[in-house]
Amino acid sequence: MKKIGHILLLLLFWSCLKEEAVPVLADFEYKVLENDYSIPVSVIFFNRTEGADQYEWRFEGANLSRSIDRNPGIIKFNTKGTYTITLTATNIDGSEDTKALDIKIDNPVTIDFTVTNLINTFSPATYTIKNLSQGADTYTWIFEGGTPSSSTDQDPGEVVFKEPGEHIISLEISNGRETYIKSTPIKVAPYLITDFDYTIAFEDDDYQIPAKVNFKNTSISATGYTWNIEGADITTSKDKDIEVVFNTVGEQKITLTATNGKESNTTTQRITLYKNTNLREFKNVKLGINTAHKNNTVGSFFSISTREVYTKQQITPEISKTIDLVFYGLNSTYQRNQFVSPNKLSGTPFDDIRDPKTTVFINTQELCGCSASLTDKQFDEMKDDTLLRNLTIDTDDNLYFDNSTTPRIILFKTQEGKKGAIKIKEFRKDGENSYILVDIKTQKKIR
């Protein structure tokens, strides 16, 4: 029995000698939360080690430098750099293994830049580009339509754009892991164009001197202006828009030079002015019989100052003050017709008007027995106010006329003393809307 016991102990010892220690294979992975490697960075570690029961973590550059937990949880890095994370794993058999991984932590990546125009936006327009981005290692600039057209410098400096219109400036930055792009538009003003329009004053639209003219500057991309005007009261000006009075007969030259600090451009127009005849002409004026006036189809009231015919509906208190001529036609037979002073409407079917003017009319030169006389031939040949100026028109004849004589000349003198003549060319029949067709010549000013 004693011998058998020794044999069993020997076999057990031999078995223990042949048993091997359990190996350890250290392994781990990590994940950057939100996939953001820019500080502050939060990293979670996953222990994949096999055969171990004890662990020691070393975190270089982290908020936690050491841990003995199998899974240390979330570790934070607050400083840019490349750091080594080491895991050492052991077991009770004395097996040990180590694994180390590097992690690169970046500064925060932000993209921004400013674009500053130098002088002005007129072509060629120069812009200064200032990079305000952070955390990037590479920079790619694209300047649409610019010189240069691209750059890889952190700050590209000045870029020149020649073509008018909108151009896009783009920046792409990267730290090797993250890439950001930003674009901003700039506008280059159109090329310099020098131009202007002009409008002659309403009362001077016959281009007879003196004539007041307003010049409207329509230049594009200009900041400065120089006018040179011939034959006017103002011959030079630096104003954008100007108003002048021409006092010289003939073709007058108007020159405008526009500048924008980079270039100049000049344009010229010409205006022809005429001798002052002191005669205002109105052609083919329609004056309705009283029913046409009341029906608001063809008016019977005429204003020399506004050059308009007015119907009953169109007569306002303000317009009433301007009426010079009133035609009274009884009906479409034209057997009873008369030009009436605006202040003597009580004897007609027309309503009285407010603040009426006084006009003297000679309706029938052949019956009035007055010295004033003007034939239709003289009317047609009248080129200035000489004949009118020599007429004596002081008293209404208060007479009526019919349509038996065509053309018929009616003489008048306005409240302001301007003398004139009306030539009735046609008596047109259209029932209640019948009207006469007339030409009118009158003095512009009393002299």
Query: Do 75 and 62 form a contact (C-beta atoms < 8 A)?
Result: yes
Same domain, 180 and 312: no
Q: What is the 3-state secondary structure (H, E, C) of 410-436?
A: EEEECCCCCEEEEEEEEEECECECCEE
Query: Do 298 and 290 form a contact (C-beta atoms < 8 A)?
Result: no
Strands 408-413 vs 360-362: parallel, antiparallel or unpaired: antiparallel
Same domain, 284 and 425: yes
Same domain, 393 and 353: yes
Own/partner pairs, 15-23, CB within 8 angstroms, 24+ separation: 21/93, 21/94, 21/95, 22/51, 22/91, 22/93, 22/95, 23/51, 23/95, 23/97
Count Cβ atoms below 10 Å from residue 230 Cβ, excluding itself. Answer: 15
Residue 162 counted as domain residue = yes
Same domain, 418 and 392: yes
Residue type, 123: S
List CB contacts of 303: < 8 A, sequence separation 6 or more: 310, 319, 322, 323, 324
What is the rounded CA–CA span in Å between residue 226 and residue 267?
11
Do you find a cis peptide bond into 190, omega within 30 degrees of 0?
no
pLDDT recorded at residue 3: 52
Same domain, 373 and 306: yes
- Domain end position, chosen among 151, 166, 188: 188
Same domain, 322 and 429: yes
Residue 120 counted as domain residue = yes
Per-residue pLDDT at 213 exceeds 60: yes
Residue 171 counted as domain residue = yes
List CB contacts of 23: < 8 A, sequence separation 6 or more: 51, 95, 97
pLDDT tens readout for residues 381-437: 999 999 999 999 999 999 999 999 999 999 999 999 999 999 999 999 999 999 999
pLDDT tens readout for residues 75-109: 999 998 999 999 999 999 999 999 999 998 888 88
What is the rounded CA–CA span in Å between residue 193 and residue 398?
62
What is the rounded CA–CA span in Å between residue 383 and residue 373?
17
pLDDT recorded at residue 106: 83
Same domain, 131 and 269: no
pLDDT (average), residues 350-356: 96
pLDDT tens readout for residues 29-41: 999 998 778 788 9
Residue 57 counted as domain residue = yes
Q: Number of folded domains in the chain?
A: 4
User: What is the pTM (predicted TM-score) of this model?
Assistant: 0.70
Same domain, 417 and 354: yes
Residue 302 counted as domain residue = yes
Domain with 76, as residue range(s), is: 28-105
Same domain, 300 and 433: yes
pLDDT tens readout for residues 227-281: 999 999 999 999 999 999 999 999 999 999 999 989 999 999 999 999 999 999 9
- Domain end position, chosen among 170, 188, 206: 188
Task: Give the length of the chain.
Answer: 447
Q: Pick the residue with more confidence: 20 or 124?
A: 124
Query: Do 69 and 58 form a contact (C-beta atoms < 8 A)?
Result: no
Angle at 128 between CA 124 and CA 130, to 5 degrees: 160
Residue 52 counted as domain residue = yes
pLDDT recorded at residue 136: 92
Query: What is the domain-level CATH number for residue 87?
Result: 2.60.40.10
Same domain, 294 and 439: yes
pLDDT tens readout for residues 14-33: 344 445 789 999 999 999 99
Same domain, 329 and 436: yes
Residue 1 counted as domain residue = no
What is the rounded CA–CA span in Å between residue 78 and residue 63?
8
Residue 6 counted as domain residue = no
pLDDT recorded at residue 125: 95
Same domain, 333 and 371: yes
| Residue in the block written with tokens 């309705």 | 288
Q: Tokens standing for 286?
A: 């329609």
- Domain end position, chosen among 171, 188, 205: 188
